Each structure stands twice: as C-alpha cells, then as structure tokens.
C-alpha cells in the first residue's frame, strides 16, 4: 500500500501549454493522465506554480542572468493569467491546494515540507512538467527530505525526449531505493486511499 500520500502536480500552467517561448509541446499528451489523478484525488492534490519575478533585477544571483535572457517571461511582460493552471485542472482548486515557487524546486522556502509534515505525509506521487527540470527538482528534494517518491512516467513531460528519457532512467535506476516509476494505470490499480 502507498500509505499517507499526496499528489504533487508540477507546474501545469498556461505559460507552458500556450504559445510562449516556454511552451512544452507535448504537455497535451500527458494532460489526460494528470487530470485523471487530480480529478479522482483532488483533496490529495497540490499544484505547484512556477512564478517568475516582476523584472530580472528582482531575482537573486544567477536567476537575474536567467531572467535577463527570458525577460519576456517576467511578470511585467507576461499576462498574469498565464501563470494560472491549465483550464482542465483549474476546476479542482479548491479542494486542491496551490503552492507558488520562485525556483525549480518547491522545497526552498520550507512551506511545502512543513505542510506535508503536519499532515504526516509519507509518499509523494508526482506528475507534471518538465521531467528534466522542475519534476526532477521536486523528486530529488523529496528524496532528500525522506519521502517515498512515485513518479507517474506517463504523466510527466518535457520539451525534449532525450532529457526526459534520461531523467526517468536516472530516477528509476540511481534512486531505485527511494523512487518508484509507474504508469498512471498501475498507480490507480494499486487502490490508493482516497480522501
């Protein structure tokens, strides 16, 4: 059994689904699986949202250089609605929760881990994008914090097949004692507790 778990849906936002420089072209392909999990387990779902600063000068360290390159994705240029969840997931909030973050990892400010600790969560079931960036950051941080990590391999996506495949291979082999890869169908068939 999976124990006390939460679904972490990583950055399924309009700015990655629509016509922007950060569009993840095959987000549409994994969306049905992500929606299936979020719809069945909305009370156990936590959506993370990647939120750029208003302007590059507001970002610390090398993030400033990053946003100088991607200035068009800062909040002074990007329409605010593009930070929102894709339309097919938005109806699940509430009861699903939303955690905004400024980095690839959702763990940096401690809020998410503190909330999960209060709920005695043991397992994270991860979906979303991108496999080789924010999903990877979410999984590795979860490992470091002691969670069992389950990545639904048909419910994560990336902009490039090569690094998507390499990331899943890395998680499934190098971290096999702490990470489990499964399909959405396998996860749902495992009869995870609702609530």
For residue 31, is it within any domain? yes
The pLDDT of residue 103: 96
For residue 124, is it within any domain? yes
The pLDDT of residue 128: 97
Continuous H helices in the chain: 14-17, 27-40, 61-69, 111-118, 134-144, 161-173, 184-189
Please tell me the chain's helix, strand, coil percentages from 3-state DSSP, rounded to the nearest 5. 40, 20, 40
From 49, 41, 17, select the one nearest 30 (Cα to Cα): 17
45 token code pair: 């779902």
CATH number, residue 133? 3.40.50.850
The pLDDT of residue 130: 93
- Residue range(s) defining the domain that contains residue 43: 5-51+82-189
CA dist 15 and 163 (Å) reads 21
For residue 110, is it within any domain? yes
148 contacts 180 by C-beta, under 8 angstroms: yes
Residues 140-169: pLDDT tens digits? 999 999 999 999 999 999 989 999 999 999
CA dist 5 and 24 (Å) reads 27
Write the burial class of residue 139 (CB in 10 Å: 0-12 exposed, 13-18 middle, 19+ buried).
buried
For residue 74, is it within any domain? no
CA dist 43 and 135 (Å) reads 21
For residue 62, is it within any domain? no
Q: How confident is the model at residue 194 (pLDDT cuts 50, 70, 90)?
A: confident
Residues 39-57: pLDDT tens digits? 999 999 999 999 999 999 9
For residue 23, is it within any domain? yes
For residue 57, is it within any domain? no
Distance of CA 8 to the CA centre of its chain: 6
Three-state DSSP class for residue 53: coil
CA dist 1 and 171 (Å) reads 21
Count of domains for the chain: 1
For residue 73, is it within any domain? no
């Amino acid at each position: 059994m999976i124990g006390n778990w939460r679904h972490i849906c990583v950055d399924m936002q309009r700015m990655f689904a629509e016509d922007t420089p950060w569009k993840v072209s095959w987000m549409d392909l994994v969306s049905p699986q992500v929606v299936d999990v979020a719809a069945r387990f909305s009370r156990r779902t936590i959506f993370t949202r990647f939120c750029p600063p208003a302007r590059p000068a507001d970002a610390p360290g090398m993030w400033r250089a990053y946003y100088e390159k991607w200035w068009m994705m800062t909040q002074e240029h990007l329409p605010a609605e593009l930070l929102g969840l894709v339309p097919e997931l938005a109806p699940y909030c509430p009861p699903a929760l939303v955690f905004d973050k400024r980095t690839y990892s959702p763990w940096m400010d401690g809020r998410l881990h503190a909330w999960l600790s209060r709920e005695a969560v043991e397992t994270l079931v991860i979906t979303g994008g991108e496999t080789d960036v924010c999903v990877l950051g979410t999984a590795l941080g979860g490992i470091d914090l002691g969670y069992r990590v389950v990545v639904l391999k048909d419910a994560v996506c990336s902009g490039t097949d090569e690094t998507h495949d390499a990331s899943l291979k890395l998680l499934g082999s190098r971290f096999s004692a702490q990470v489990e890869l499964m399909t959405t169908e396998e996860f749902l068939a495992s009869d995870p507790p609702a609530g």
